[in-house]
């Protein structure tokens, strides 16, 4: 090496030399974003583009699809218009059945149901005189308010109804006591009167009927039906408040029992589940109003499960027993036994052999 030769110095302005570590390829960093905009490569400032507004986005979408695009404001405005149209339609008096019902007036169903529940507890359970004075006074005031929501028939005054109803409560309790006795005497599964009173759905249904029946007899519209349908919904037992039912009435099990408006039931009658005391030719509708459409059941009759008795002229004579699933549209005399004649076929299965105890093996 030449000792006099000076080392070559690196000229920063030379372009024939490549950097030792080349920069990776990527977007140019000549234009840097600043707080005021974009720094162009020539040092000039460019304004940052502002985000597109909803209107401009909608316009762009409309141009892209060829269809107008509805904004959120448009949809909200359309919903408000639909609400206004619905209000106008619902508030219009079209003279239809719903408008007529509104004109007639009716109480709140839940309010009637609550009154009925409390009245049942007073009649069935209360014995303390001080409690009765307080509760009965409140219930009478409650009933007065409900009556003023109804369109009472001509000649029916709220105060007359209230006085007559209160006067009949002692008789209602006496009938219900006999109904509980009939249930205890007729059901070997019953262990006590308390069990029947507290647990049997038929007692609740019958008690509701007896209260509703008194209001029905006093000329009160609608209220008795609301009470009876409330019991129907709870127990599955449908007793019209207009039916006439005697003493010591017992419904065993009860689900599916139907007793029509003009049915007449004597004393000591027993019904099982699914019994129907109904009407013929229901298609005649309002033309049959006020006529006797449902059967008469005389004293000491037993109607077994699923029996159907139809027609206002049908009479089941005293002491009769009507078998399960029978269908009657004509009367039967006293002390009759009616049942379906079924032909049972019994065939021996020759492949079946009785097994003795030593043939039974349990592997657990």
Question: pLDDT by residue (tens digit) across 186-214?
Answer: 999 999 999 999 999 999 999 999 999 99
CA dihedral 9, 15, 19, 25 (to 10 degrees): 170
pLDDT of 7 strictly over 50: no
Position 95 scores a pLDDT of 83
The more confident residue out of 170 and 16 is: 170
Residue ranges and CATH numbers for the domains of the chain are 103-236 (1.10.3130.10), 243-341 (2.160.10.10)
Mean pLDDT, the chain, whole residue set: 84
> What value does the mean pLDDT take over residues 120-142?
95
The more confident residue out of 40 and 243 is: 243
Q: How confident is the model at residue 326 (pLDDT cuts 50, 70, 90)?
A: very high
pLDDT of 154 strictly over 90: yes
> What value does the mean pLDDT take over residues 106-134?
94
Query: Which residues have CB under 8 Å from 270's CB, separation 6+?
Result: 182, 186, 250, 251, 252, 301, 302, 303
Would the pTM of this model clear 0.85, i.e. be above it?
no
> What value does the mean pLDDT take over residues 12-34?
45
> What value does the mean pLDDT take over residues 238-267?
97
- Rounded to an integer, what distance in angstroms lies between the CA atom of residue 364 and that of residue 362? 6
Q: Among 135-149, 219-233, 302-316, 330-344, name the one with the lowest average pLDDT.
A: 330-344
Strands (DSSP E) found in the chain: 38-39, 45-46, 238-239, 244-245, 250-252, 258-259, 264-265, 270-272, 276-278, 296-297, 302-303, 308-310, 315-316, 321-322, 327-328, 337-338
Position 29 scores a pLDDT of 41
Q: Among 18-27, 120-129, 342-351, name the one with the lowest average pLDDT.
A: 18-27
CA of residue 18 relative to chain centroid, distance: 87
pLDDT of 293 strictly over 50: yes
How far CA 224 is from CA of 208, 220, 259, in Å, comes to 9, 7, 15
Burial class of 196 by CB neighbour count within 10 A (0 to 12, 13 to 18, 19+) = buried
Q: Tokens at residue 338, please?
A: 């009616």
Q: How confident is the model at residue 268 (pLDDT cuts 50, 70, 90)?
A: very high
pLDDT of 136 strictly over 50: yes
Nearest to 278 by CA among 302, 290, 256, 260: 260
């Amino acid at each position: 090496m030449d000792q006099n030769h000076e080392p070559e110095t690196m000229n920063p302005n030379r372009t024939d030399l490549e950097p030792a570590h080349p920069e990776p390829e990527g977007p140019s960093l000549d234009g840097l974003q600043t707080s005021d905009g974009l720094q162009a490569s020539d040092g000039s400032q460019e304004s940052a583009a502002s985000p597109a507004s909803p209107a401009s986005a909608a316009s762009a979408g409309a141009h892209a699809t060829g269809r107008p695009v509805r904004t959120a404001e448009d949809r909200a405005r359309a919903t408000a218009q639909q609400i206004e149209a619905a209000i106008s339609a619902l508030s219009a008096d079209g003279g239809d059945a719903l408008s007529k019902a509104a004109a007639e007036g009716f109480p709140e169903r839940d309010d009637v149901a609550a009154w009925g529940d409390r009245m049942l507890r007073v009649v069935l359970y209360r014995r303390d005189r001080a409690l009765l004075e307080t509760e009965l006074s409140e219930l009478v005031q409650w009933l007065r308010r409900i009556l003023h929501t109804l369109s009472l028939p001509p000649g029916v005054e709220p105060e007359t109804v209230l006085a007559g109803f209160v006067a009949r409560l002692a008789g209602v309790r006496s009938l219900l006591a006999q109904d509980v006795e009939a249930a205890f005497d007729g059901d070997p599964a019953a262990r006590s009167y308390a069990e029947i009173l507290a647990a049997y759905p038929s007692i609740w249904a019958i008690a509701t009927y007896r209260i509703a029946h008194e209001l029905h007899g006093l000329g009160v519209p609608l209220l008795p039906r609301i009470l009876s349908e409330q019991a129907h919904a709870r127990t599955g037992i449908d007793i019209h408040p207009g039916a006439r039912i005697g003493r010591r009435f017992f419904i065993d099990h009860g689900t599916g029992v139907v007793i029509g408006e003009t049915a007449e039931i004597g004393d000591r009658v027993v019904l099982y589940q699914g019994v129907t005391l109904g009407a013929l030719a229901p298609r005649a509708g309002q033309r049959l109003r006020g006529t006797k459409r449902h059967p008469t059941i005389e004293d000491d009759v037993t109607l077994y499960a699923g029996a159907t008795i139809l027609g206002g002229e049908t009479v089941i004579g005293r002491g009769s027993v009507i078998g399960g699933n029978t269908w009657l549209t004509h009367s039967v005399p006293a002390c009759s036994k009616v049942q379906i004649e079924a032909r049972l076929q019994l065939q021996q299965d020759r492949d079946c052999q009785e097994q003795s105890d030593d043939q039974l093996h349990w592997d657990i």
